[in-house]
Amino acid sequence: MDVGAGAHTEGMSSDAPTPSRVLERAVPAIDAEGLNAYGLHVRIGDDEAEHRWRSDDRVNLYSVSKGVCALAAGIAIDEGLLTAETRVPELLGDLELGDGVDRVTVRHLLTMTSGIDFKWFGDERVPGDDLAQAMLGRPSRGPGTVFQYSDASPYVAMRMLGAVVGDVRDWLLPRLFEPLDIDNPQWHRCPLGWIVGGTGLELRTSELARIGRVLRDGGRWEGRQLVTPTWIEQMHSGWVATGEDAPFARYAIAGWEDRGSVWRLDGRYGQYVVVDAERDAVITITAHQESGDHRLVELALDALDAVSGGN
């Protein structure tokens, strides 16, 4: 596909920061470094363009899936089904809880601050019969005091939501996926049949870009408010220090802090949604780059800076 294919730039100044101009800079830079990108989608205002290195097939979004978990929680909060401060035993009272776990909330789980020392990722075997029990049976070192990144935390948050709504993916169909014309998306599941949550959602680049647009536009899609703007704001504010260096130094509800006011959803091997609200832009990337994958974000943002008159 040609660089900028699919762009809509009618009536715009040739000097305006358009998606096509971003692609004209970003694509050669990605190629020059030999990065294994699949697709790069750029939207600025109502203008969009995409470049493809391979067909737009559905791929595992890995930890970008956590952002969809966050949207699910926000929608549930809007509907009054739970709150960010709902505690584990209120919805998973049939499980045996470790010391202090009774104080762990949905917010703690989504911000990776449950204080439970349980680091599990979706490519690993589920320990025991029930992943939620395996995590929640351990003690908490103090909710809100320790950051530990894991796929298990959003899994438990989605188990809490599932206790209210049943199958979370099915519940999201009319609330998120169908409004965005995302047909029958698949999500990896645990042995008990629940969505893994923190990983395993499979979407095309173009489909993920629609979720990116919802994030950029404060939860709104085509005139319909899918989730309240205040919840989207919480996805990239109230940062938690992780103890790591940038670009992994601060985390919120599924969102990572990036340069300036930019924030992102970040998945293994180069799956990204990068939101730059100040420039009304969102960049979506899918890839399989096994090392140095954050260079994809850096090169895309460098291109956006260049065409916007930045440094």
- Calpha distance 281→48 (Å, rounded): 10
Q: How many H helices and E strands in the chain?
A: 10, 13
Check: CB of residue 111 under 8 Å from CB of residue 240.
Answer: yes
Check: CB of residue 197 under 8 Å from CB of residue 66.
Answer: yes
Q: What is the mean pLDDT of the chain?
A: 95
Beta strands in 211-269 (DSSP E): 220-221, 224-225, 240-241, 250-251, 256-257, 263-267
Q: Is the pLDDT of residue 127 over 70?
A: yes
Q: Which two tokens stand for residue 218?
A: 């404060």
- Calpha distance 23→77 (Å, rounded): 38
pLDDT for 35-72, tens place per residue? 999 999 999 999 999 999 999 999 999 999 999 999 99
Mention every residue, 6+ apart, whose C-beta is less than 8 A from residue 306. 25
- Three-state secondary structure call for residue 257: strand
Helix (H) or strand (E) holding 283: strand 281-287
- Calpha distance 41→274 (Å, rounded): 10
Full-prediction pTM beyond 0.85? yes
Amino acid identity of residue 288, one-letter, is: H
Q: Is the pLDDT of residue 124 over 60?
A: yes
140-150 b/e with 16+ CB inside 10 Å = b? beebbebbbeb
- pLDDT computed for residue 10 by the predictor: 39
Q: Which residues on adjacent β-strands are paired with residue 41?
A: 50, 284
Q: Is the pLDDT of residue 24 over 50?
A: yes
Amino acid identity of residue 86, one-letter, is: T
Check: CB of residue 179 under 8 Å from CB of residue 226.
Answer: yes
- Residue for token pair 């900028």: 4
pLDDT for 170-204, tens place per residue? 999 999 999 999 999 999 999 999 999 999 999 99
Share of the chain above pLDDT 70, in %: 95
- Three-state secondary structure call for residue 189: strand
Q: Which two tokens stand for residue 271?
A: 């799956």
Q: Is the pLDDT of residue 7 over 70?
A: no
